[in-house]
């Protein structure tokens, strides 16, 4: 079943529910905000101080960073993580079958997007809600010149307590540490967080976020996203964010499927690329 509600700010939220799970997807930003397997707690985190205001990013769920990840390479005033996480998308399709419930949202170039990125494109996101949550992002270059993008599903997971959580799957993987001066390092063992963390892991097809206190693991599989970004703002950065409560860093971790930094995706005129992330909850 798919139902709609509109918030006082004008943002429309779709609720997708079936025998397996319930999920919420905002049409503004095409952002998945909630994924609750039947009779279980939410897998995703949204800040209680999040703004649901057109023009501002929603703090949590799965923001779509596109067509650049992080700050713009040259324009300091351009939005961080691109412009589609603050864009209105349109509903392009809905489907229900025995495996789950799907919606497809689309966003395309306009005079507004061309202020930041002077190219013609169609971006389409299919969200499938079943036992797993699957997101499929297709970028199509509608212009007559080649383009290149970086992007990410900036996924915020809800966790019981940051000190008790680990991320498996990166032992021996190189990463760029983005806290302070950028440095390249190699992961040894599981990732555990004990301070501000902002890393781009260069490789790995799948990882597992393990939260023993919540008796839960979440496996993140990806296809077409070479990188995984792991972020926790810790104490000082949490305090500096207006849309994030001071203590909330304890109950979230971002594990993001991305094609970031130097992993640019080039698209010839008329070409398209599809990238996929699947979240498999257990427990």
Q: Is the peptide bond before 90 cis (omega within 30 degrees of 0)?
A: no
Q: Which is nearer to ligand TA6, 57 or 103 (CB)?
A: 57
When asked if residue 80 is in the footprint of ligand TA6 (CB under 6 A), the reply is yes
How near is the Cβ of 159 to ligand TA6 at its closest, in Å?
16
Of 59 and 119, which has the nearer Cβ to ligand TA6?
59
* 231 forms part of the interface with ligand TA6 (CB under 6 A): yes
222 belongs to the binding site for ligand TA6 (CB under 6 A)? no
- Write out the binding residues for ligand TA6, residues 251-270 only, by CB under 6 A: 254, 256
Residue nearest to ligand TA6 (CB): 231
CB of 199 to ligand TA6, least distance (A): 9
Size of the site for ligand TA6 (CB under 6 A): 11
- Tell me: does residue 7 bind ligand TA6 (CB under 6 A): no
Q: Active-site positions?
A: 154, 256
Is residue 137 a contact residue for ligand TA6 (CB under 6 A)?
no
- Which one of 14, 27, 29, 57 is in contact with ligand TA6 (CB under 6 A)? 57
33, 46 contact by CB (below 8 A): yes
- Residue list 154-193, contact with ligand TA6 (CB under 6 A): 154, 178
Give the one residue of 24, 120, 134, 198 binding ligand TA6; rule: CB under 6 A: 198
Q: Does 229 bind ligand TA6 (CB under 6 A)?
A: yes
Applying CB under 6 A, which residues contact ligand TA6? Answer: 57, 70, 80-81, 154, 178, 198, 229, 231, 254, 256
């Amino acid at each position: 079943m798919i139902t709609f509600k509109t918030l006082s700010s004008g943002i429309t939220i779709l609720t997708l529910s079936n025998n397996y799970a319930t999920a919420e997807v905002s049409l503004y930003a095409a952002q998945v905000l909630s994924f609750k397997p039947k009779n279980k707690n939410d897998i995703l985190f949204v800040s209680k101080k999040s703004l649901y205001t057109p023009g501002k990013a929603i703090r949590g769920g799965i923001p779509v960073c596109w067509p650049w990840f992080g700050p713009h390479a040259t324009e300091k005033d351009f939005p961080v993580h691109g412009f589609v996480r603050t864009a209105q998308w349109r509903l392009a399709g809905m489907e229900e079958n025995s495996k789950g419930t799907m919606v497809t949202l689309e966003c395309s170039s306009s005079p507004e997007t061309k202020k930041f990125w002077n190219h013609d494109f169609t971006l389409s996101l299919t969200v499938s809600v079943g036992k797993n949550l699957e997101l499929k992002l297709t970028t199509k270059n509608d212009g007559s010149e080649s383009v290149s993008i970086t992007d990410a599903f900036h996924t915020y997971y809800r966790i019981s307590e940051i000190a008790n959580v680990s991320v498996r799957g990166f032992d021996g993987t190189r990463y760029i540490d983005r806290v302070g001066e950028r440095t390249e390092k190699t992961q040894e063992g599981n990732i555990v967080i004990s301070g501000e963390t902002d890393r781009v892991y260069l490789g790995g097809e799948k990882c597992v976020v393990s939260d023993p206190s919540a008796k839960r693991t979440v496996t993140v599989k990806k296809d077409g996203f070479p990188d995984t970004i792991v972020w926790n703002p810790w104490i000082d950065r949490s305090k500096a964010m207006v849309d994030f409560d001071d203590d909330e860093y304890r109950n979230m971790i971002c594990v993001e499927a991305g094609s970031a930094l130097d992993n640019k995706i080039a698209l010839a005129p008329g070409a398209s690329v599809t990238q996929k992330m699947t979240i498999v909850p257990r427990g």
